[in-house]
Amino acid sequence: MASSVTVRAPSSTANLGPGFDVFGLAVDAFFDEITLTKTKEKKVTITTKDNIPTNPNHNTAGLVIQNMIKKFRTKDGIQITIKKEVPAGFGMGSSAASAAAAALAFDKLYRLNLDDNLLVELAGFGEKASAGSVHYDNVAASVLGGFVIVRTDPLDVIKIDPPTSLRMCIAVPKLAVPKKKTKVSRGVIPKKISLSDSIINLSNAAAIVAGFMRKDPEMIGNSIRDVIVEPARQHMIPGFAKVKYNAIEAGAFGVTISGAGPSVIAFSKSSANLKKISAAMEKGFAHAKTDCLTVICKPSKGATKIR
Ligand code: HSE
């Protein structure tokens, strides 16, 4: 059996507007890489050149691996080497990418052949501990790739292959994000919603699924319409309304907050002028005196063993 395995897992965008905590899409904007190496000394250690916690109790990958060692009663120590590319705290599924890569790497290292739902659940353990709540949208996308629909109780993830022409422009604003950002941005969401708002969101969520089934980027983008979570969170993103307006004017089909933000994501297709959409989003942020990094990306496959 190999004594070392390396897995790469993609960034992801959660919610896609009306699919709060339910929809996820893996995107090839950024990747995290995790190498697991068996060691004789029975403990978990983390090495990295990136500025992330190296205490396994405070690190998403560390939490996933410690939990898997306990669950599968493996006897070795594990050294986790992390190359982190997904920016942490910007709504790009950063902790999920590390958690997904760690879970799959452990599965491969011990040839466990775990099924998709269990892998997602085990990767979600890291998310739960770091974000303080259970939501599998990012981890499911990062583990499985493509577009995912997450059902809970029991956890059941449905994957749909996205249209090959689907493209996203993501603007990552250079903001100082709060430490417990996801917790903070979940705190502003209304606890109760009206029936009429739930009907609008449900109809658009259903149309997004239809868009993925029909491989129709325009139907997907036009249905990125959320009247519940986006209005409650948008004040946390300086210039959001302008960024959204500009992107639509430049030809995007739909625009929303990526996950819990503050990145903003525009949905489009390969034949559109994606540079124009990105530039328009950049201008929107500039209007609010905020610099941003823009990335044009495609849907990604899920976590993959590369060595
Ligand atoms: N669905 C989650 C949220 C994703 O929007 O809070 C962030 O982790």
Q: 43 CA to middle of ligand 1, Å?
A: 32
Considering the domain boundaries, does residue 305 fall inside one?
A: no
Which of 141, 161, 181 is at the close of a domain?
Answer: 161
Nearest ligand 1 atom to alpha carbon 260: 5
C-alpha–C-alpha distance, residues 137 and 141, integer Å: 6
Residues 290 and 178 in one domain: yes
CA 85 to centroid of chain Cα atoms: 13
Q: Report residue 191 as tokens.
A: 């606890």
Number of other residues whose CB lies within 10 A of the CB of residue 225 = 19
Considering the domain boundaries, does residue 212 fall inside one?
A: yes
Considering the domain boundaries, does residue 206 fall inside one?
A: yes
CATH number at residue 61: 3.30.230.10
Mutate to test the pocket of ligand 1, among 90, 138, 237 (most ligand atoms within 8 A of CB): 138
| Residue 128 in this model has a pLDDT that exceeds 80 | no
Tokens 């942020």 belong to which residue?
285
pLDDT value for 126:
82
Listed in order, strand segments (DSSP E) in 217-271 are 254-257, 264-269
- Domains identified in the chain, total number: 2
Ligand 1 site, CB within 6 A? 14-15, 20-21, 131, 135, 137-138, 182, 186, 259-260
Residues 53 and 125 in one domain: yes
Residues 25 and 134 in one domain: yes
Q: 283 CA to middle of ligand 1, Å?
A: 26
Q: Answer yes or no: are the C-beta atoms of 222 and 40 closer than 8 Å.
A: no
Question: Could you report the per-residue pLDDT of 197-228, keeping only the tens digit for each?
Answer: 999 999 999 999 999 999 999 999 999 999 99
Quick one: average pLDDT of 223-242? 97
Structural domain range at position 221: 166-297
CATH number at residue 199: 3.30.70.890
C-alpha–C-alpha distance, residues 256 and 198, integer Å: 17
pLDDT class of 132 with cuts at 50, 70, 90: low
Length of the chain measured in residues: 307
> How large is the C-alpha radius of gyration of the chain?
19
Which of 102, 127, 161 is at the close of a domain?
Answer: 161
Which of 102, 134, 161 is at the close of a domain?
Answer: 161
